[in-house]
Amino acid sequence: MYSEDLNHPRHTFVSPQNDAKTRIDAIFTSPGFPFTPLYCHTRKIFLYLSDHLIVAAYFQPVESKKALRDQRIKTRRKVYNVNKMDVADWLAFTEYSNKYFKEHNLSKLESLKANRRNLNIM
């Protein structure tokens, strides 16, 4: 059960007949539920008229060690060692650079003056 005061949790329902306040909403999870509970709260329903509240629960997703490792590897930056490039690597780099230069009309950048503002543009 989630509440600001665990000894005196707030009500989730007020009876329109006699203003009785009760806690009638609950969320149950099994003992082997693989997610850690984070937070739970109630909200009013705006789609239709009801005197009940919506109970919303948020859980921490569990990621396997393999998934965490794969994500870490995917976000790792690649640092290229220029000293280890051979002739074939340089030719491939030159070919790709020329192609990129032509496709993105970068020849307009050749006429820019050498200063800090233009360096940021490039």
| Tens digits of residue pLDDT in 55-110 | 788 888 777 788 888 888 888 777 778 888 889 989 998 999 889 888 888 888 88
Calpha distance 97→5 (Å, rounded): 63
* pTM reported for the whole predicted model: 0.34
Q: What is the pLDDT of residue 25?
A: 60
Beta strand 36-44 pairing with 53-60: antiparallel
- What is the per-residue pLDDT for 29? 78
pLDDT of 10: 67
Q: Where are the domains of the chain?
A: 13-60, 77-121
Q: How far apart are CA 119 and CA 122, in angstroms?
A: 5
**Predicted local distance difference test score (pLDDT) of residue 1:** 45
